[in-house]
Structure 1
């Protein structure tokens, strides 16, 4: 018998009929059976008996701690598809003008009241991961005030930045307020061409952040960097990057390399956990939405038509979004044997490249070597 307590920042959730424990520090989601869930819920600092091997695992994973100080545990329920990951664009202003960017830059910044309402409601419905983006979020005049408010909650916080505005003072503050910093890096000379800015600064920022906070890297495949991925792989692994996410921009096709080159990159490079996996049987975005600086809620930044405004309440907006922009796989035109694995790919790419939001994503079709439904 030991005094066992649920560790800090372990979030207990019931999504649909399934039970979970989420470690916000390590970004790890554990699916639990009924018995395990209610055992963790009961670990409030009281004496509890458990199998030694299981207990050692729970402690080693940072889910439980030996502590006799009492703490009441709670959990949140949400129907599926559930909103677990929420991106807030705090500004549409940016210090770069990247060729592939889809955001119409302006000087709008989110106000504190709108941000706080969104944050408060996201946590109350069971949110797990908050992403702060832009534009360039560090251009918001009160970015640290916003981050301080978000840090009142135990969910995971990710700051998405191009890195050029980070200096030593800002890095010190950020590492106290967020769990992860995602840096955009699109190769070396390819990065310089795409963003009209040198790659050296983002690399220096990654080095400065490493060891103090999880650092992830986001890369877009373009014709400018198609021959730089092997070098990038070596460099990022040497810098102990937490996750390397690679995607294909939805942009003018003349910026993209040949399909076979894209396939080779996506099959051979990148590492770490998938950021926003969808629930079985559904297409992309079953746990994710975004909010712009005016409080409009959209499926993702590509979709301009809002499903409501945060003034209406986040849960109402999410329910509207589910009815309009979350599709079951059997609703898609995709019918190949790999659809359960690729989940239909990106719906916006399907719309842009095939002209049908329910059609095939040609990038994913090429990866799996199947004929596109729009051909």
Structure 2
């Protein structure tokens, strides 16, 4: 892996190809790319765009004009079209594209019309399947969105879901719970996923691990996310409802980092404690040499965002705190849905938006055996992955007809998605109403 300084030297040395113009706006942390198709070969143009994205994306918002979504199907959220027009030409692949309802199509005579082989549908299948192997947990976190259940996926069921995902060409598999390491067959389940060639992610609280278990599990894990709700023993006890586990957790996080797992992420639900002392949390995350620290807006089925202190104003304060640190490790991101318009445009790289929630890019297998849109939305959308992905409910989510006013024209609409569909349902009784945090002027 390149060092950060080498990476930025590489970025600064990028020279636009014929027909490609780049404007870097450091004030807004934005990179604007305009393409005139045909001036450079499709392969060279695509490779160049990915080089730009790899160089700038973690710290800049990158906007690309002049190509359809299907030219960069795994970077579609960077492509900017003028919304509203849908009268362009359609190709056979459009029928399988997730963005068909929002795509204007190809302009008549477009360079791409004669080169359909250069295009691929966006999200014809989910990017990831999340296996919620159980709902049991050894902790009692007040912020947890997972309701305890006795149901768990058997190893045979896990293998079936893995085989279906492999047959569809899905690349990422995530194991979560509850606490996945309470599952009696978690090691053979992880091994089965890795044997099939998946990129394997695991969410865990890390308190049940030991050196031996980590050594056995590590070869099967590419990316581990550890829940970190407190920044010291007292804070962890208050957050998790369990005493005496903080030292064990911190020891295991360090073991996970040292055992060869490529990516270590930490996850913290935003709380009063975090708002009062973000610096102490950050120092702890740095001491673990974490790659990413994810912050989460609280999600409550009652329509509340947790304590009164957890509100848009408090998140803006956090964004102001972490904005100057965007080029430092760990990378700090707000990892679940919030309306982007609550924040400064230059802070957008801090936010993942709703991309990984509400069924926008992945499906979750409930331990009761059905597919659902997310951890939070407990809606059965089918028993098979492709049928679930193409369910009427998720097609409506993907259609974005619920976006109104300025949201429909926003350059961040394919990351923000107007905020949380879960919180819209919790607060207003309908998944397709506005997120309660969406400012009135955007509706």
Residues 230, 239 of structure 2: 8 Å contact kept: no
Residues 421, 435 of structure 2: 8 Å contact kept: yes
Determine the structure 1 residue equivalent to 2:248. Answer: 201
Rounded Cα–Cα distance in structure 2 between residues aligned with 1:335 and 1:230: 35
Residues 171, 209 of structure 1: 8 Å contact kept: yes
TM-score, length-normalised on structure 2? 0.60
CA root-mean-square deviation: 3.3
Q: 1:163 to 1:283 in 2, by over 3 A?
A: closer
Q: 1:283 to 1:165 in 2, by over 3 A?
A: closer
Cα deviations across residues 150-203 of structure 1 (Å, max 9, x unaligned)? 111222111100111010011101211111111000132443212113433322
Residues 78, 126 of structure 1: 8 Å contact kept: no
Give the structure with the larger strand fraction: 1
Determine the structure 1 residue equivalent to 2:375. Answer: 301
Secondary structure at the aligned position of 2:440 is classed as coil
Secondary structure at the aligned position of 2:289 is classed as coil
Cα deviations across residues 4-24 of structure 1 (Å, max 9, x unaligned)? xxxxxxxxxxxxxxxxxxxxx
Residues 354, 419 of structure 2: 8 Å contact kept: no
Residues 333, 358 of structure 1: 8 Å contact kept: no
Determine the structure 1 residue equivalent to 2:265. Answer: 216
Residues 373, 394 of structure 2: 8 Å contact kept: no
Determine the structure 2 residue equivalent to 1:160. Answer: 203
Residues 87, 133 of structure 1: 8 Å contact kept: yes
Are 1:318 and 2:378 matched, yes or no? no
Are 1:335 and 2:406 matched, yes or no? yes
Q: 1:231 to 1:275 in 2, by over 3 A?
A: closer
Shift of 1:275: 6.8
Rounded Cα–Cα distance in structure 1 between residues aligned with 2:211 and 2:374: 32
Give the structure with the larger helix fraction: 2
Rounded Cα–Cα distance in structure 2 between residues aligned with 1:325 and 1:201: 45
Rounded Cα–Cα distance in structure 2 between residues aligned with 1:355 and 1:322: 15
TM-score, length-normalised on structure 1? 0.70
Rounded Cα–Cα distance in structure 2 between residues aligned with 1:121 and 1:348: 27
Q: For structure 1, which segment, 86-95 or 201-210, has the greater mean C-alpha deviation from structure 2 after superposition?
A: 201-210
Rounded Cα–Cα distance in structure 2 between residues aligned with 1:325 and 1:141: 38
Shift of 1:112: 1.9
Consecutive unaligned residues of structure 2, counting only runs of 5 or more, are: 1-40, 55-119, 323-329, 337-351
Instruction: Map 1:227-246 to 2 at 5 A.
Output: 227-246=276-295
Are 1:264 and 2:307 matched, yes or no? no
Rounded Cα–Cα distance in structure 1 between residues aligned with 2:281 and 2:248: 15
Rounded Cα–Cα distance in structure 2 between residues aligned with 1:285 and 1:317: 10
Secondary structure at the aligned position of 2:250 is classed as helix
Rounded Cα–Cα distance in structure 1 between residues aligned with 2:45 and 2:157: 34
Are 1:95 and 2:103 matched, yes or no? no
Figure out how many residues of one structure are paired with residues of the other and give that number: 299
Rounded Cα–Cα distance in structure 1 between residues aligned with 2:149 and 2:310: 33
Q: 1:297 to 1:34 in 2, by over 3 A?
A: farther
Shift of 1:342: 2.3
Determine the structure 2 residue equivalent to 1:182. Answer: 225
Q: 1:115 to 1:300 in 2, by over 3 A?
A: same
Residues 81, 287 of structure 1: 8 Å contact kept: no
Secondary structure at the aligned position of 1:327 is classed as helix
Rounded Cα–Cα distance in structure 2 between residues aligned with 1:199 and 1:345: 33
* Residue in structure 2 matching 1:250, options 269, 294, 299: 299
Q: 1:321 to 1:158 in 2, by over 3 A?
A: farther
Rounded Cα–Cα distance in structure 2 between residues aligned with 1:326 and 1:81: 15
Residues 151, 367 of structure 2: 8 Å contact kept: yes
Determine the structure 2 residue equivalent to 1:35. Answer: 43
Secondary structure at the aligned position of 1:175 is classed as helix
Rounded Cα–Cα distance in structure 2 between residues aligned with 1:353 and 1:318: 25
Shift of 1:288: 0.8
Secondary structure at the aligned position of 1:335 is classed as helix
Q: For structure 1, which segment, 269-278 or 258-267, has the greater mean C-alpha deviation from structure 2 after superposition?
A: 269-278
Shift of 1:228: 2.6
Determine the structure 1 residue equivalent to 2:440. Answer: 371
Secondary structure at the aligned position of 2:272 is classed as coil
Are 1:141 and 2:184 matched, yes or no? yes
Shift of 1:246: 0.7
Shift of 1:82: 3.2
* Residue in structure 1 matching 2:175, options 87, 111, 132: 132
Shift of 1:273: 7.3
Determine the structure 2 residue equivalent to 1:171. Answer: 214
Rounded Cα–Cα distance in structure 1 between residues aligned with 2:236 and 2:307: 13
Rounded Cα–Cα distance in structure 1 between residues aligned with 2:227 and 2:357: 26
